[in-house]
Amino acid sequence: MTRDDVEILSKESLYEGFFRMNLYRLRHRLFAGGWSPVLDREVFERDSVAAVVLYDPARDAVVLLEQFRTGPMAAGDDNPWMIEIVAGIIEGDESPEDLVRREAVEEAGCEILELQFVSSFYSTPGGGSERCTLYCGRVDSDGVGGLHGKHDEGEDIRVFVEHADEAFRRVKDGNVASAFSVIGLQWLELNREDLRRRWS
C-alpha cells in the first residue's frame, strides 16, 4: 500500500512549541479490502534527526556521552542520565552528514575523519514522525573527553572514551537505553572487524 491508501479527514494542531502535537482524523485501506473506521490519532511531530557512533579503529574505542534526559525522568526512570552516541536535530537545509559532523564537534569535541552510512529509520512510528539517519564515524579519540555542549541550549554533556567491548557490554547489560545508541552500537559490534580493516 502507499500514501494514496490513506484518507486524512482533518488535522488539528494541539500544541506548537519546540515540538508539535497534531490530531489526525483518518481512515485507511484494510488488507482484507475496504476501509478502516475513522480513527483519531495524536502524532508527536518533530524534525528529522541524525546520529553517529564515533569509533576510533586504531584504539578499538568509542566516544560516548552522558547527559540528563527529560523523557526518562517523565517516565519515572531511577536514573534519567543517559549514555548515548552523538545525535541532533537537522536544521534548515542541513544534510544529515553535515549535522553529525557539526554535532560531533559541539557535543564531543571530535572531528569526524570518515563517515559510513548505517541506516535510516523511524524511532516510534506508532505515534511519532521522527526519522533518524544513523552513521558510524571514524575519529581519533586521543585527548577526547571532559564536559561539552552548548550552555545556551541547556546542554551539560560528559564525554568519555572506552574500549568497544565495554560499550557493547553496556548494551547487553541494559545500561544503554537510547534507541539510536543501542542500534548504533549493535551495528558497530557486527561490523567492527570490517571497519578496522578498511579504516586502519
User: Known catalytic residues?
Assistant: 153
**Which H or E element spans position 160?**
strand 157-163
Could you give the CA distance from residue 109 to residue 161 in angstroms, rounded to a whole number? Answer: 12
Could you give the CA distance from residue 20 to residue 41 in angstroms, rounded to a whole number? Answer: 14
Q: Would you give the DSSP letter of residue 10?
A: E
Query: Residue 76 has which C-alpha cell?
Result: 519515572
Q: Would you give the DSSP letter of residue 187?
A: H
Distances (CA, A) of 119 to 64, 114, 136, 143, 184: 19, 16, 10, 29, 9
Query: Residue 189 has which C-alpha cell?
Result: 559490534
Query: Residue 60 has which C-alpha cell?
Result: 578499538
| Residue 84 contacts residue 64 (beta carbons within 8 Å) | yes
CA dihedral 141, 146, 150, 153 (to 10 degrees): 120
